C-alpha cells in the first residue's frame, strides 16, 4: 500500500461506464516510485480524499477483479474494431452487422459438419 499527496488531474468516461483517471503527485522518493512501478497494470482499489487516510479508514478487504463475460469481451472488441475503422455507421449498426456476419459464419460451419 502507498499513500502520497496527489491531484486528480484528468477524468474521462469509458464505454463500459467506468472512469479513466489521471493523478499528478508531488516529488516521490525512490522507494515510493518503486512501489508505484510495482502496482503498474495491476488490479486494486483506489482511495482518494482531501486529507490523509488514517489506518482505520483503509478497508481490509482483498481486491477482486470482476471478470467480464465472453459476450461483453466480444462486444468490446467489436466496438474497438468499429472505432478504429473510421466507419460512417453508428457503433450499434456496426455491432449488428458484425454479429450477423459471425452468426452466418457459424451457421456455415455447422452446415459443413
The rounded distance, in Å, linking the Cα atoms of 4 and 28 is: 8
The pTM for the full model equals 0.47
The rounded distance, in Å, linking the Cα atoms of 34 and 28 is: 10
pLDDT at 43: 84
Across 94-99, average pLDDT: 93
Orientation of helix 91-112 relative to helix 70-85, angle to 10°: 120
pLDDT at 65: 66
pLDDT per residue as tens digits for the range 23-79: 999 899 999 999 999 999 888 888 888 888 888 888 777 666 667 788 888 998 998
**What is the residue extent of each domain of the chain?**
6-54, 70-112
Amino acid at each position: 500500500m502507498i499513500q502520497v499527496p496527489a491531484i486528480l488531474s484528468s477524468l474521462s468516461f469509458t464505454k463500459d461506464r467506468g472512469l479513466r483517471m489521471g493523478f499528478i503527485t508531488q516529488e516521490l522518493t525512490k522507494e515510493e516510485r518503486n512501489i508505484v512501478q510495482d502496482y503498474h497494470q495491476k488490479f486494486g482499489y483506489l482511495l482518494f480524499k482531501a486529507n490523509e487516510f488514517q489506518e482505520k479508514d483503509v478497508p481490509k478487504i482483498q481486491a477482486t477483479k470482476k471478470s467480464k463475460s465472453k459476450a461483453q469481451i466480444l462486444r468490446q472488441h467489436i466496438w474497438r474494431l468499429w472505432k478504429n475503422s473510421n466507419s460512417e455507421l453508428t457503433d450499434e449498426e456496426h455491432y449488428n452487422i458484425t454479429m450477423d456476419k459471425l452468426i452466418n459464419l457459424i451457421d456455415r460451419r455447422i452446415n459443413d459438419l
